Amino acid sequence: MAALKICHSAGPPDGTPGCAPHKKPPPPLDRQSALFLDVDGTLIEIASRPELVQVPRQLAALLDRLARQRDGALAVISGRPVADLDRLLSPWRGAAAGLHGAERRRPDGSAASSDPDPQDADAAAALQWLRPRLAELAGATPGVWLEDKGRTLALHYRAVPERGGEMRDLVARLAEEAGGRLRLIAGKMVLELQSEAYGKGRAIAAFLAEAPFRGRRAVFLGDDTTDEDGFAEVNRRGGLAIRVGAPSATTAASWTLDSVAAVLEWLAADGDA
């Protein structure tokens, strides 16, 4: 049986744990950079359920300006499916990685494909085994609900945060029993299971291997544990990793922005220039 990998916040660029980020905003955004943006908690305020989010009115226009300034070198990197991102960010429809990189679309609209990964097949079988068991757990636990994204499963407990530790233990045990190659990502009031074959760091690396991202300094903004492997990848390349929200003592990000509003203000300072 493959060991379940539980993803906590990644370490800093030098690999040692417990690196506190700078408690100040990042430097001005460079138009020669490749810009990678998480969505929920970074561009859009988190809601009690994903379908209830409120999208800032000028967000699509801002993304369009920032992408054009970089000849298309801007991508949103999210745990949501790409189709969901298109619905939220319409009419903007640029480069995107959905489901933590299991889906990826280039700036020209073409879908990126790769050879099947055996880990992904093992994970798919494990997720299929877990699906009814997690649904049963959610149904038996008031305030907990299961979001089935197809290639990932996310158990939300935002309505009952006091049960987070209990839910994590139960989900970890079930995932071990499933025996697949899964990552258990403990995010903000959510426990998400996905194939080890994917991750935001890998998605960023794939974009940076292609035009128009290739050769540019990477900048990645995110707010949660699911973004930590993206921060680590950007750091490895000498880029700029920015954590949104309260600084974490264990984040790999080197800079912080206090809120979604601060992110939009920082991005707009470049987009309006």
**3-class SS shares of the chain: helix, strand, coil, % to 5:** 35, 20, 45
Q: Note the Cα 116 to chain centre separation in Å.
A: 22
Residues facing residue 185 across a β-bridge: 7, 192
Catalytic pick among 38, 40, 122, 229? 38
For 162-208, give the DSSP string. GGHHHHHHHHHHHHHHHTS-EEEEEETTEEEEEETT--HHHHHHHHH
Q: Of 235, 244, 240, which is closest to residue 14 (Cα–Cα)?
A: 235
First and final CA of the chain: distance in angstroms? 54
Residues 194 and 99: beta-carbon distance below 8 Å? yes
C-alpha 204/C-alpha 219 separation (Å) is: 10
Among this protein's residues, is 38 annotated catalytic?
yes
Write out the catalytic residue numbers: 38
